[in-house]
Amino acid sequence: MNSTPSEAAASAPTGELGDLSGHADAPPISLDHAGITELFALLAYGEVAAFYRLAEEARMAPNLSGRINMAAMAAAEMQHYEVLRDALGRRGVDVVPAMTRYASALENYHRLTTPSTWLEALVKTYVGDAMAADFYLQIADVMPDEAAEVVRSVLAETGHSQFVVAEVRAAVTASDRQRHRLALWSRRLLGEAITQAQFVMADHDELVDLVMAGGGLSQMTEFFDRLQNTHNARMQELGLG
């Protein structure tokens, strides 16, 4: 599961994401909550993993324009990593050992969703990364403003992903076979993302505490249902719905 949404996450319907901070009687979360440190560490590893993934997948592009767009997105990931590294440093946390604890789940996701074609790489960049952003932004909604701003800043739109929408929509409009193939691929991305997110939550109680502390989730299933809803909206954007 990755942490970079480009503008896909930013454009997600807010009603589908839901409001996790709407419980007036929920106690406020303190800035030193251990779950905030864990979330920053998880995001940091995601940014580094995204950099290497995008740099490698840029080689699959059929033209220079595609390679440049992928490379620009990869560069943005390292800028986001530096923001998280500095945020962890202000909390007295060394970023490398902190983020290494999340290597297994994120590397498993990428290993199980390695694209075999340029179009699969584009769909993963747009849909997969946006699902990860939805996951993090839902948690950020219950965090103190200072910490939430760090999360939102590294998930802000980078301005590069519209080329993904244009290329994928053109391909699936021209070929029903490609549309069916990429729709199946998109559903696989969703399944693997949710599986790995569940593993992360199961192994890190601090993150679960952070999510539940806001009082906005009665059940974990509701949390993941919202990810399904935004995923469906993005499939429509790509012409895969």
pTM of the predicted model as reported, rounded to 2 decimal places = 0.81
Average pLDDT over residues 90-105: 94
Residues 118-174 have pLDDT tens digits of 999 999 988 877 877 877 887 888 889 999 999 999 987 655 678 888 999 999 999
Q: Which of 97, 137, 113, 127 is nearest to 53 (CA)?
A: 113
Residues 158-203 have pLDDT tens digits of 556 788 889 999 999 999 999 999 999 999 998 888 888 888 888 8
Residues 48-74 have pLDDT tens digits of 998 999 999 999 999 999 999 899 888
Better-scored residue on pLDDT, 86 or 241: 86
Residues 27-36 have pLDDT tens digits of 568 888 899 9
Three-state SS letters, 80-95: HHHHHHHHHHHCCCCH
Cβ neighbours of residue 29 under 8 Å, at least 6 residues apart? 35, 36, 142, 143, 144, 210, 213, 214
Q: Report the pLDDT value the prediction gives residue 230, as an integer from 0 to 100.
A: 81
Q: Report all structural domains of the chain as residue ranges with CATH numbers, in order of start.
A: 23-237 (1.20.1260.10)
